[in-house]
Each structure stands twice: as structure tokens, then as C-alpha cells.
A = this chain, B = another copy of it.
């Protein structure tokens, strides 16, 4: 019999991924009792994240066991990988048996391209909402969207809210509340510009220009 307290969680690590998308949830998950985390890529070679850090995958697509939770994030360089047949095949295959199919930020674009969001509502980074809608997905603008076993977070930092939501689903509210306390997740953002609705169109336009010039676009190469 499966011990329902033991979960195998797979995080897809790809070159150019936005590290916080995935490493926020990783920090939450790693605190949960009985969780085994796999950091998965095609090879075990170091992967450069979009903030220029080198991280080491520990599991290949080929060697990856069946996952209870599959999770993929976004990245500024997503165009380079969002049609990668190996990634999409891996997501599709694991998605066929995973208990929860999940993403943070632009990761929902990958889930959609793998055919895993047909008929589902999902969240994504605000700058990717149109692209996700164009893929036939009903876009939710909430921070975390739970639609049956699809759990998707908004942009980057939403991964923390997302991770705690999953912690609560897997281990119950009290455990999630404890992890939130241990991570001292009592946010006090210095500004009130965390969503396009709050930031307003002028700042959104500036942010789009800023994004195109971000040093991380170079660093990830």
C-alpha cells in the first residue's frame, strides 16, 4: 500500500529557466515530511538559470521515476524551449499518471503545449496571459489557480503562494501553516506595483521595454 504521506515531486530544470519560479516552491516542498524531490533535465550537466547561476540536475528524463507531482516553471528564454519535443514528451508522459500537474509563471505555456491544459483554467505570468489564451486555455488572473488536479501559479514570486497551496493539499492546513511560519512568509512588498492592474499601463509599458533589455537574457546564453 502506498503511504499517502510520501510524495515524489519532480521539478523540471532547463537552461534559461527563471530560478525563483522553481526554487521558491522547492524551498516549500523540501520542508515537507516524506517528500522526495527530483531536479530533472535531459542530462546531469549543469544548467544555467536566467539569473546566471549554475545548478545541477540530479535526475534525467530517462531515469525519472513516476512522479506524484510534476512542476515546470517559466523563463525569459522560453521561446527557445517551448516547442522542444523532448520536454513536451516528458511532460505528457509524466502527466498521464501524475496526481498533480503543476506550473509556475510561464510554465503553463509548456503544459498547454504538451496538451495538458485542455479544458482547464490556469494561471501564468501576466506578460504571458495572451499567449496562454491563444493556446485555448482559460486564463485565471488569480495568484494560484486550482482546477481539479491542475495547480498553476502566476509570475515568479507566485511560486511561494503556489507551493504553500500544494503543501496544504498534500499535507493539510496545519503543516502548510507551519511551513509558512518557518519561511517567515509575511510579505511586506516595498511598493504596490506587483500586478499590471496595480502598476497601471504606463509602468507596464516601461516594464515590457525593461524586460527586453534585461541582463539575464544575455546571462542565460
Q: A residues engaging B (CB < 8 A)?
A: 18-20, 23-24, 26-27, 29-35, 37, 39, 46, 50-56, 58, 105, 125-126, 142-144, 154-158, 160-161, 164-165, 168, 173-178, 180-191, 193-196, 198-199, 203-204, 206-207, 210-211, 213-216, 219
Contact = CB atoms under 8 A, between A and B. Distances in A.
12 contacts: A23-B51, A53-B55, A55-B56, A56-B56, A157-B184, A168-B190, A176-B190, A178-B207, A178-B210, A181-B203, A182-B207, A187-B187
A30 B176 CA distance: 30
B164 A177 contact: no
B33 A53 contact: no
Given A157-B185, A182-B210, 16 more contacts: A18-B27, A19-B23, A23-B23, A30-B50, A55-B55, A56-B56, A143-B187, A157-B186, A160-B187, A161-B187, A175-B210, A176-B190, A177-B193, A180-B193, A181-B196, A185-B194
